Amino acid sequence: MIGAYLSIDREDALRQAHEADARRAHGESLPLLGVPVGVKDLLNVQGQPCTCASRMLEGYRSPFDATVVARLRAAGAIIVGRLNMDEFAMGSSTENSAFQRTRNPWNTGCVPGGSSGGSAAAVAGDLAYASLGSDTGGSIRQPASHCGCVGFKPTYGRVSRYGAVGYASSLDQIGPITKDTRDAALFLNVLAGADPHDSTTIATPPPDYLSALGRDLRGLKLGLPDEYFIKGMDSEVENTIRAAVEQCRALGAEIVPVSLPQTEYAIATYYVVATAEASANLARFDGIRYGLRTSSDDVIDLYEKSRSQGFGPEVKRRLILGAFVLSSGYYDAYYLRAQKVRRWIRNGFDEAFTKCDALLTPTSPTTAFRFGEHLDDPLKMYLSDIFTATVNLAGITAISLPCGFSSLGLPIGLQVIGPALGEETILRVAHAYEQSTEWHKRRPNLAAQG
């Protein structure tokens, strides 16, 4: 019914489970021993498919484990299978998958969000204890918000990207989707840390993130940016977020107004930087070295046919845009200017964090929308990430957690944003709020939906 998984290796999952039982019987104690975990289909898992939900990579099997997958295995986790996503992580609804539709467990007529829609739907629908997703502009947090899960985007470089198929390399970050904040901290303990295979990882050893939990909010200043409460935002979302802010105030936090005027430029900046990097990253899929290869005696014709048949409409749209902004005559006008705005966005966050310890915002301006509702309007779809993309541009950290439901029974997510390497602070805030409410304990009733 949900369609979260693109592939499951049942035999191997059972083998891992029996092995975990034997290890437990012999007294082994590992943080994730026997825990079933799903993996977004852009992370390499040795011997399993890695298609990025694209015809371009149909039939490809991974020859190695991504670093995050290797760390899950070392912690005792069971890798269940590959989770659906928007093709090459380009989308906000998982409708861009070349293979199947993933449904939101809370309302199967609605999208799960994206691009890690399968990762969020699997956790919400009890098809995995937790999952891994990737977040380039909100692709962990937005689907977590739509599916009533906890989605964690670490600081850029805190978690290795080795073995992840790149979309926009300066923005991509791997992180967990879990049922609650304690599990998010537990998984971050396993995933975080330097990796010699990824030169962008941070050398500073990560702390024990579980130690950040269980503290109240007294002494913390939490910023509330006006720019995240915009015209056209769903009124139920706004009211629910403001109620969550008041709950944080009741827990002892001081709520302070902050300004992030750069926010309105985030989407335009993101779609210049991300598409430019995507056009470079996906150039390798040319019909010769990697991916789908069609038949032709002419090399240019081979390129054109392989890429036109291998990539879906949204990927083509972004690759064309990326090639355009990098082209001669337009580089300075678009890409270079976008990089300057990106620095301005980072400076804006730096200034805000001189006044507060973390920020409270909505994760998404709406709840999950119905299938097809935004497909004919790419700009409307892109605006789904208006509250999340700034975090990736700045390279900082954020978490989304459930804070209520709409009148139609759809989850609403609260986003807590922290400075670079501020994971402990946002986990402290998120856990304190979570433990004072019951939202994270709710589960969708799939049987009632037929």
Token representation of residue 368: 């999950």
pLDDT tens-place string over residues 32-47: 999 999 999 999 999 9
Of 310, 338, 366, the domain-final residue = 338
Token representation of residue 369: 């929308």
Number of domains, the chain: 2
Active site residue: 93, 97, 115, 406, which one? Answer: 115
Using CA atoms, how far apart are residues 425 and 377, in angstroms rounded to an integer? 37
Which residues are CB-contacts of 217 (< 8 A; sequence separation ≥ 6)? 248, 251, 252, 253, 428, 429, 432, 433
Of 338, 367, 391, the domain-final residue = 338
DSSP string, 133-200: EEESSSTTHHHHHHHT-EEEEPPTTSB--TTBPPSSTTT-EEEEEESSHHHHHHHHHHHBS-BTTBTT
Question: Which residue has tokens 């992180």?
Answer: 175
Of 314, 338, 362, the domain-final residue = 338
Annotated active-site residue 139? The verdict is yes
Q: In 10 A of CB 10, how many CB atoms?
A: 9
One domain for residues 403 and 278: no
Residue spans of alpha helices (H) in 311-362 = 313-326, 337-352
Q: In 10 A of CB 340, how many CB atoms?
A: 10
One domain for residues 21 and 161: yes
One domain for residues 187 and 55: yes
Please check whether residue 359 is in contact with residue 417, taking contact to mean a CB–CB distance below 8 angstroms. yes
Q: Is residue 114 part of a domain?
A: yes
Q: How high is the pLDDT of residue 446?
A: 83
One domain for residues 334 and 409: no
pLDDT tens-place string over residues 232-269: 899 999 999 999 999 999 999 999 999 999 999 999 99
Using CA atoms, how far apart are residues 98 and 55, in angstroms rounded to an integer? 6
Please check whether residue 72 is in contact with residue 37, taking contact to mean a CB–CB distance below 8 angstroms. yes
One domain for residues 274 and 163: no
Using CA atoms, how far apart are residues 226 and 207, in angstroms rounded to an integer? 32
Q: Is residue 66 part of a domain?
A: yes
C-alpha closest to that of 216 among 422, 433, 426: 433
Q: Is residue 449 part of a domain?
A: no
Q: Is residue 116 part of a domain?
A: yes
Q: Is residue 450 part of a domain?
A: no
Token representation of residue 361: 């915002």
Which residues are CB-contacts of 235 (< 8 A; sequence separation ≥ 6)? none
Rounded mean pLDDT for each run of 10 residues along the chain, 450 residues in total: 96 96 95 98 97 96 97 98 98 97 98 98 98 98 98 98 98 98 98 98 97 96 95 94 98 97 95 97 89 85 90 97 94 95 98 98 97 84 90 98 98 98 98 98 85
Annotated active-site residue 221? The verdict is no
One domain for residues 374 and 429: yes
Q: Is residue 301 part of a domain?
A: yes
One domain for residues 274 and 420: no
Active site residue: 40, 116, 160, 179, which one? Answer: 40
Active site residue: 139, 145, 279, 364, which one? Answer: 139
Containing 256, the helix (H) or strand (E) segment is strand 254-258
Please check whether residue 432 is in contact with residue 212, taking contact to mean a CB–CB distance below 8 angstroms. no
C-alpha closest to that of 322 among 284, 270, 382: 270
Q: Is residue 397 part of a domain?
A: yes
Q: Is residue 413 part of a domain?
A: yes
- Domain residues for the domain of 232 are 5-265+339-444
Find the length of the chain.
Answer: 450
One domain for residues 330 and 349: no
Annotated active-site residue 115? The verdict is yes
One domain for residues 381 and 351: yes
Using CA atoms, how far apart are residues 414 and 224, in angstroms rounded to an integer? 12
Please check whether residue 81 is in contact with residue 65, taking contact to mean a CB–CB distance below 8 angstroms. no
Token representation of residue 19: 């092995």
Using CA atoms, how far apart are residues 66 and 42, in angstroms rounded to an integer? 10
3 state DSSP class of 266: helix
Token representation of residue 96: 């861009």
Using CA atoms, how far apart are residues 86 and 96, in angstroms rounded to an integer? 5
Q: How high is the pLDDT of residue 450?
A: 62
One domain for residues 13 and 133: yes
Using CA atoms, how far apart are residues 432 and 181, in angstroms rounded to an integer? 9
One domain for residues 135 and 198: yes
CATH number at residue 37: 3.90.1300.10
One domain for residues 216 and 153: yes
**Positive or negative torsion for Cα 18, 24, 28, 29:** positive
Using CA atoms, how far apart are residues 144 and 364, in angstroms rounded to an integer? 10
Using CA atoms, how far apart are residues 439 and 145, in angstroms rounded to an integer? 12
